[in-house]
Amino acid sequence: MTVDTHQAQRGWTGDAVPDLRSQFIRTTTELIDTDPRVAVVLAEISAAQFDEAGERHPDRVINVGIREQLMVSMAGGLALTGMRPIAHSFGAFVIERAWEQVKLDLDHQDVGAILVGSYGSYDWPAGGRTHQSPGDVALIDTLSDWVVHVPGHPAELDAQLRAAAADDTRVYLRIGGEPNPEAFPTEHDTWSVLRQGSAGTVVAVGPTLRNVLPAIAGLDVTVLYAPTVRPFDADTLRSTLREPRVVMVEPYLAGTSAAHVARALADLDHRQLGLGVADPDPHRYGTPADHDRLHGLDPRSLRQRISAFLAPRLRDTPQILGDM
């Protein structure tokens, strides 16, 4: 199967790593072929990429047209009969437009589904606010018992999606951002410890790692990588904590995980800094790189903000690299 990754259109670096949405289509197609419980519900978005799977399994590849509320409600109905539905559109439509359906037809019914939202916070800035969903994880946080995956690499997405398809939980798979060059383990939804330092902890969520790593080069900090944010891996955060100063770098609304950090460190005097999308509606177009800078999520801005926050504990702060 050939999938147009559209990476060039997005102004990304053009790494050999395929984009996350393409991997979602590949993995889901395999799941449809191998697991009779899996049903995919679409509202036109990505429907053409599932045409061949739909010919093989017309009862389990369902395109309802441009009807996102129906798509999510149908996912609830399918789950109520024992199926494992995967509903997919842009995050702005699968979560925000169909919000009451997510809340009532999945969460309130206490049934599981896998919701897959693409385009993230600003994968397509030229599309404007209508196609951006920086508030999606914050919305999911108002519900109960959801798993939220924010893969930063196609291999992570593949593993997360296969694990999700094999059980009955409520899962939001958030596809967005330029993939990281390297994949990390996703087993048990725990975070990877990339390195240990003494001035504080920086948690990079999903594709933010691409900019976080150059930003913290030479800084004496612990770096954790989180391809899953719900459940929140408080155990790894606590067990690796040397200095109770935590920076969460998230590819959605800044501070989305602040309550989770506070709860994890409730018995410690601590400080935290939440970095992420600063303005959900900046009324600006351009490229993802433009919006990285707009929200202070490019390597240079991240280094400045992380260094300033940790300054009292950083003995030496190497000069910001000129090529950032």
Partner 1 sequence: MTVSYAGLDRLMGLMTGDEKHGPSATSTLDVIWVLYDRILRITPQTVDDPGRDRFVVSKGHGPMAFYAVLAAKGFIDEDQLPGFGSYDSRLGHHPDRLLIPGVEFSSGSLGHGLPAAVGMAHGLLAQGLDSRVICLVGDAEFDEGSNSEAVVYAGSAGLANLTVVVIDNQSSTHGWPGGIGRRFMIDNWLTHDIDGRDHEAIARAFRNAAPDRPTAVIAHVEPKG
Q: Is 322 in the site for partner 1 (CB under 8 A)?
A: no
Q: Is 218 in the site for partner 1 (CB under 8 A)?
A: no
Sign of torsion over alpha carbons 249, 45, 186, 262: positive
- The residues in 78-97 that bind partner 1, with binding defined as CB under 8 A, are 78-83, 85
Q: By CB under 8 A, which span of 62-70, 134-142, 197-205, 221-229 interacts with partner 1? A: 62-70
CB of 88 to partner 1, least distance (A): 15
Q: How many CB atoms within 10 Å of residue 273?
A: 20
Q: Using alpha carbons, select from 124, 131, 47 the residue that is nearest to residue 90.
A: 131
Q: Please identify, using beta-carbon distances, which residue of 105 and 156 lies nearer to partner 1.
A: 105
Angstrom distance (rounded) from CA 221 to CA 311? 11
| CA atoms within 13 Å, Cβ hemisphere of 223 | 18
Q: Please identify, using beta-carbon distances, which residue of 37 and 162 lies nearer to partner 1.
A: 37
CB of 35 to partner 1, least distance (A): 12
Q: Is 145 in the site for partner 1 (CB under 8 A)?
A: no
CB of 118 to partner 1, least distance (A): 21
10, 176 Cβ separation under 8 angstroms: no
Structure tokens that stand for 37 in this block: 């419980």
Q: By CB under 8 A, which span of 103-111, 185-193, 264-272, 292-300 interacts with partner 1? A: 103-111
Q: By CB under 8 A, which span of 44-52, 69-77, 233-241, 244-252 interacts with partner 1? A: 69-77
Q: Please identify, using beta-carbon distances, which residue of 41 and 209 lies nearer to partner 1.
A: 41
Q: By CB under 8 A, which span of 57-65, 154-162, 168-176, 193-201 interacts with partner 1? A: 57-65
Q: How many CB atoms within 10 Å of residue 168?
A: 14
CB of 141 to partner 1, least distance (A): 21
DSSP labels, 231-288:
S--HHHHHHT-SSSEEEEEEEEETTTTHHHHHHHTTTS--EEEEEEES-S-----S-H
Angstrom distance (rounded) from CA 255 to CA 257? 5
Q: Is 76 in the site for partner 1 (CB under 8 A)?
A: yes
Q: Is 143 in the site for partner 1 (CB under 8 A)?
A: no
DSSP labels, 134-149:
TTHHHHHTTSSSEEEE
Q: Of residues 25, 75, 140, 183, which one binds partner 1 by CB under 8 A?
A: 75
Angstrom distance (rounded) from CA 189 to CA 206? 12
- The residues in 252-271 that bind partner 1, with binding defined as CB under 8 A, are none
Q: Is 70 in the site for partner 1 (CB under 8 A)?
A: yes
Rounded to a whole number of angstroms, the distance between the first and last alpha carbons of the chain is 36
Q: Of residues 96, 105, 292, 298, which one binds partner 1 by CB under 8 A?
A: 105
Q: Please identify, using beta-carbon distances, which residue of 108 and 263 lies nearer to partner 1.
A: 108
- The residues in 13-52 that bind partner 1, with binding defined as CB under 8 A, are 36, 39, 41
65, 44 Cβ separation under 8 angstroms: yes
CB of 62 to partner 1, least distance (A): 6
CB of 82 to partner 1, least distance (A): 6
Site for partner 1, rule CB under 8 A: 36, 39, 41, 59-60, 62, 64-65, 67, 69-70, 73-83, 85, 100-101, 104-105, 108-110
